[in-house]
Amino acid sequence: MITKKNTYVILASFLFLSTQALDIYQSTTPVEKSKDEGKQVFERFACNSCHGNSGEMEGDFSTLKERFTAETLPEYINNPQAYDNKQMPVYDGMISDSEMEDLVAYLFLLGEELNRSDD
């Protein structure tokens, strides 16, 4: 038998679940979150002052995926001088692992966007 109490419980559960579902729907997707955080790191470390806001200047971001993987790009960023790039700051010890992860994901994304805009 469905009592009044049960009805309230069901109604309350329905409302609770609906708001949770709405929250999930409205929240940023993981990709977007990473993109935002990567962009923040990109700008905080003044990468844009040489590479441009969209990676369109120094460094040819459009071929980034051909030249690096998610494992090798952090090695380059941490010590560009080892790759004969003497004008890029040495980020080793200056950037956290999570910041580097967000940054690398963002750099690849910029490369993809540049390639799409070329098509």
Partner 1 sequence: MNVISRKHVAILALSFVFLSACKMTYDSLNLDYTIEESQANVNEGKRLTTVMCGVCHYDQKTGQMTGIHMVDVPPALGKIVSSNITQHKEKGIGNYTDAELAQVIRTGIAKDGKLIPFMQKPNLSDEDLRDIIAFLRSDDPTVQPSDVDPGSTELTGLGKMAIRMEKPTPWNHPISKPSASDTLAFGKYLIDNLACYDCHSKSFAKVDKINIEKSKGFMGGGNKLYNKLGEEVLSPNLTPHITGIKEWSEEDFKKAITKGFNKDNKVISYPMPLYPDLKDHEISAMFIYLKSIDPIKNDI
Output the smallest distance, CB 94 to partner 1, in A. Answer: 6
Residues 6+ away with beta carbon under 8 Å from 37: 102, 106
CA 21 to chain centre: 24
Nearest by Cα to 105 from 49, 38, 58: 38
Output the smallest distance, CB 32 to partner 1, in A. Answer: 24
Q: 């329905």: which residue's tokens?
A: 14
Q: Pick from 3, 26, 87, 96: which binds partner 1 (CB under 8 A)?
A: 87
Query: What part of residues 3-62 is at the interface with partner 1 (CB under 8 A)?
Result: 45-46, 48-50, 52-53, 57-58, 60
Residues that bind partner 1 (CB under 8 A): 45-46, 48-50, 52-53, 57-58, 60, 81, 84-90, 94
